[in-house]
Amino acid sequence: MLGPLPALAGDAQVRKGFWISFGAGYGSAQARCDQCLSGSREGSFSGTIRLGGTLGEHWLLGWEGSGWLKNNASGWLPGYVGADRTLGTSSLIALYYPKPSSGFFLRAGGGASYAGFSYGGCSNDVCSVDEAANGVGLGFTAGVGYDVRIRPNLSLTPELSIAWGLPRDLSDNGRTVATGWSHDFWALNLCVPFH
């Protein structure tokens, strides 16, 4: 019964070829802008998806999309009380495993960030989302995690990450409603990578 276990343990952290990962958890976000009401942090749902290829036993390269969402929120920006708030990044990333036989990794990357306020509603069984204000700019991300291999090609990965966004200006139908916008969100996610 225990015969296969040593072989599996020996291959536990082999990384090769294409990989993809999905994750979700809790995030804490903060926004700053010239018109913002408050700089307090707020907690809500966070999620991530990433995919890419393996360069070697130490390095993975790929793309990551991560986000933070809070529905029917108040605060941050005057005139948008009750709006759904979305913060996100789309980044090229690198994962570095200092010790290939271990599941511990460091992750960093950069690309674009997004901030948006939207109102959604349903009437006569028809639902729609009205994008109220949004902006796009530079984005950066970093984090640490640990792959716990549960099958030869499947892991459970707790990770802690942070994303920074610099959209600078948010506009609503061509009208600037916020200037100097920046945000960050910390996230504690549980990810499921397929190797």
Computed over every residue of the chain, the mean pLDDT equals: 87
17, part of any domain:
no
Q: What are phi and psi of 6, to 5 degrees?
A: -60, -35
Is 11 domain-assigned? no
Lowest mean pLDDT among 4-8, 40-44, 112-116, 140-144: 4-8
- Of 82 and 143, the structure prediction assigns the larger pLDDT to 143
Q: Based on the structure, what is the number of domains in the chain?
A: 1
* Per-residue pLDDT at 31: 92
Q: Is residue 117 part of a domain?
A: yes
Is 13 domain-assigned?
Answer: no
Is residue 26 in a domain?
Answer: yes
In 97-153, which ranges are E strands? 104-123, 126-146, 148-151
The verdict on residue 9 lying in a domain is no
As a whole number, mean pLDDT of residues 92-107 equals 95
CATH classification at residue 179: 2.40.160.20
Range of the domain at 93: 22-190
Give the single-character DSSP code of 7.
H
Rounded-to-5 percentages of helix, strand, coil across the chain:
5, 70, 25
Question: How many CB atoms lie under 10 A from the CB of residue 180?
Answer: 14
Six-digit token string for 93: 């990333």
Identity of the residue numbered 189 = N
Residue type, 148: V
Whether 91 is covered by a domain: the verdict is yes
| 179 Cβ contact partners less than 8 Å away, ≥ 6 residues apart | 33, 34, 35, 168, 169
d(CA 91, CA 165): 11
Q: What span, in angstroms and rounded, lies between the C-alpha atoms of 82 and 87?
A: 16
- Residue 103, SS3 per DSSP: coil
| pLDDT > 60? residue 127 | no
Separation between Cα atoms, residue 153 and residue 22, nearest integer Å:
14
Q: What is the pLDDT of residue 9?
A: 44
Q: In this structure, is residue 36 part of a structural domain?
A: yes
Task: Please give the average per-residue pLDDT across 102-121, as a whole number.
Answer: 91
pTM metric for this prediction: 0.84
pLDDT class of 12 with cuts at 50, 70, 90: low
